[in-house]
Chains A and B, each alone.
Chain A
Amino acid sequence: MDKSDKIRQNLNKLFSSQNLAVLSTHQDGQPYASLVAFVATEDLKHIFFVTPKTTRKFANLSVDCRVAMLINSSQNQAADFHQALSVTAIGSAEEIGGDEKEKYLQFYLARHPHLIDFARSPTCALVRVTARSYYLVKNFQNVMELHISE
């Protein structure tokens, strides 16, 4: 396996080991962070989460679809500083509706089955983030970037 494959594998491993991500949106330039339960596709192109439509995050991303997400393997231990892997994703968010919704909802629920009632509520939106770049931090300060072409 070459070094590029290794980086992609590390990302996949991290995404399948973590349930939660920090989502960044903004309102009139004021940044806003919130926690979401996510699932990522294996090709790393998309990240999905579910949110009630009444939330600030949904309002924010409805106005400006540009978002950032942070996923990391910290365990709230001192060792996190040298052990944890942290990934920032940059991309654009959109609500998924219509025929596609059921397919992706099932994909989402396969990962978070306990959220079935929440996710299927008519007041919740399924959001898909199309990732443009990932910024991968390990060994405390080592940063690599992975950019996805169209």
Chain B
Amino acid sequence: MNWMIPAIKVSAKDRKRVGGKGFSLASMSRQGFNIPDTLCVTSDLYNEYVTRTGLRERIQLELHRKDFKEMRWEEIWDCATRVRNMFLRIPIPFEIEAGFREVIASHFRNKSVVVRSSASDEDTARSSFAGLHESYLNIRGTDAIIEHVRKVWASLWSDAALLYRQELGLDVEKSSMAVVIQEIVIGDRSGVAFSENPNDSSQGVIESVYGLNQGLVDGAVEPDRWIVDRKRRKIITHTPAKREYWMIPFENGVQLSALPDAMSTQPPLSSKEAYAVFELAMEAEDFFKNPQDVEWTLKEEELFILQSRPITTTSSQKSEDNRSWYLSLHRSFENLKNLRKKIEEDLIPGMIDAANQLAEIDLTILADHDLAKEIKKRWEINHRWVNIYWEEFIPFAHGVRLFGQVYNDVMRPEDPYEFVDLLTRTEMASLGRNQMLENLADIIRNDQGLKKQIETRDYSRIDQDFTRKIEKFIEKFGDLTCAVTGGTQCDQDSEPLFNILLEMAAHPGIAAGNRKSNTTDELQKKFLNCFEGDRKQQASEILDLARASYQLRDDDNIYLGRIESHLLAAVAEARQRVEYQKAEKAPAPQTKELVDILADLDHRSKELNPYEKKPGQVFEIKPRQLIGQPAGPGISKGKARVIQQHSDLSNFKHGEVLVCDAVDPNMTFVVPLASAVVERRGGMLIHGAIIAREYGLPCVTGIPDATTLIQTGDDITVDGYLGIVTIGSADI
């Protein structure tokens, strides 16, 4: 089978095998366009690889753990990470690789190349995969080229590519990936050209930067822009850029660097050159018979076409798809660095200030009318911070993902989540809280008298020192009765805290964090040793960013929890007044205001079991084995404690399995008591999974209907290796 075809020899019958990009390059090459030396690696080779190694079915098993539509993006990202790791770890079988290696070695010798994706369904006029699959620049040497071909193959299964294919209704199982290997042309100026402006069909657009194109395509380098009148074939406008950076070759790859001063004052193209680029785009349009998006580069006055694809979004044919959103799922290091600064210097202090200001108001002295106003105000403040949480804090979690990918690329670990071990040493607020709880429980454990006083609720006799410690805890973390997402069903009460402490004291303590061995240091050393010079510095900055990102995913919830607890305190005060008025049987007219605002806030409804037996039904459906995502290794058995509302937590018993919709850090104080964690929300990096990993507990996430299919008291077994939750015993 012909696994590799030089572009010039590609014929019409090879179209599918070489993919959209490969075929268009080959056609242009035959037509006489100036294309760098190009070799097409056909999708046959991809198919051979995934079939012989068994990867094809392993990927499908990953993707079919549950219905794709029921997967959250985080779960899809996890799937994509596991699949990518398979591609990184599973070598091409020798009998295939030998021939492949020989052709690459003889074709490119010591030349540097670009390795580009060319999926079979890529770049049709109907869809554009631009940016969804990977391309790698400046790769040199046969081993490195083959390795990057595998990475391009893996990008067929990236989260963004999977989502986009699903949206377009493409059959994921049938997709395959051809690859284009192109000799790199180190152009001194590069850019893109739209033969037709997507926003105005009478115009063409040229964009240009100094150095390589990657900077422009990634959005890291701002381009100069020329608009051309298509009819009159004349440049209408030139918009200069703030020229600060350029992308240049660096070791085995590329690097964003400061642009030399002399260049920053000069546009990368003269008007004549910009027009020549436009003419080239028009030639491509004439050849393909539809408007083209052309990537080009200029090297010592010689103009090359790097690739050309149809423009998918023109004003006459608006595409409503979400490709740009999928692309935004992957944030650059620079973007995340700025976000971190904003969060650390602006948002977190803002959140703390907001909480402190609320704490200063004495609710008990407010008149009913003012209390209603205060509730509204607090609701708005809370709402504002919840929005900020979604818009700024959640995307910052990408810092962990960015690091994960870098780590897996260089370390190729057996466990694609090994990288999390490098992050877990980070101090997290919820772990600090749990440690404080453990210390309090330890005091009770060693003081039978105190234990008895708490059991009998004989609070007046409790030792002052212990009471002060409890007060200190409540001051810092609340009394454990309120949840971030628990709505307004919350009455401040220290009973639950004592219940939990008694339960903890009745069993030997587990200290979080102690669990981790010193292997973290070794792992970190091993990881950083994979890099040299500037790259090492960069790698350590990415690790630092990931740690901040990991920590914030926890702390932001705690801070948010404080703001919400102030809202809840105001609600509790209002509720108490309404109850009092009811008891007096003479509701004051102003209390009506409080009744109304409480009704507005109280919207929580109970979820229903979708399989609940209806009256007259002769059959009953029960879950036996539920499949989710394996999110924390280990296996454990226990009685389920299903958390429908926050107050269910105070009944948590040692050895029970925590089953909930979504663990938030304000709930994780029960985790040291739990034997396993099961969560409806899916993902390896969600809070439940992170905290379970900290305590070494088996964890399964992403089980749809977990809180309705599983009942409190059910005997369940949690297999955190396979992501399986088994309900009930083995009896038939």
Contacts and interface: CB of A to CB of B under 8 A. Distances in A.
B721 to A, nearest CB: 12
Nearest to A137: B625
A142 B627 contact: yes
Contact of B57 (A2, A78, A135, A142): A78
B56 to A, nearest CB: 7
- Of the candidates B64, B617, B619, the one having the most CB atoms from chain A within 10 angstroms of its own CB is B619
A4 B618 contact: no
Interface string A82-100: 1100000010000000000
B57 A81 contact: yes
A137 B626 CA distance: 10
A145 B625 CA distance: 9
Contacts of B625: 137, 141-143
Interface string B595-632: 00000000000000011001001111111111100000
A4 B610 CA distance: 7
A115 interface: no
Given A140-B64, A145-B624, A2 B610 contact: yes
B98 interface: no
A146 B619 CA distance: 7
Given A3-B610, A82-B57, A149-B619, A141 B64 contact: no
Contact of A146 (B61, B173, B610, B621): B621
Q: How large is the interface on A (under 10, 10 to 19, 20 to 34, 35 or more residues)?
A: 20 to 34
B623 A147 contact: no
A82 B618 contact: no
A34 B66 CA distance: 32
A116 interface: no
A8 B64 contact: no
Contacts of B619: 4, 8, 44, 146-149
B60 A81 contact: yes
B724 interface: yes
A144 interface: yes
Contacts of B618: 148-149
B168 to A, nearest CB: 21
Given A4-B610, A4-B611, A78-B56, A145 B64 contact: no
Interface string B708-732: 0000000000000010100000001
A140 B620 contact: no
Contacts of B626: 142-143
Contact of B627 (A44, A133, A139): A139
A7 interface: yes
Nearest to A80: B57
A2 B612 CA distance: 10
Contacts of B233: none
A81 B60 CA distance: 9
Interface in A54-87: 78-79, 81-83
Contacts of A145: 621-624
Interface string B35-65: 0000000000000000000101100110111
A36 B332 CA distance: 60
A73 B566 CA distance: 57
A82 B56 CA distance: 11
Interface in A121-150: 133, 135, 137, 139-149
A146 B611 CA distance: 10
Nearest to B728: A145
Given A81-B60, A82-B60, 5 more contacts: A81-B57, A82-B63, A82-B64, A139-B67, A142-B66
9 contacts: A3-B621, A4-B617, A8-B619, A81-B60, A81-B61, A82-B61, A90-B732, A143-B626, A144-B621
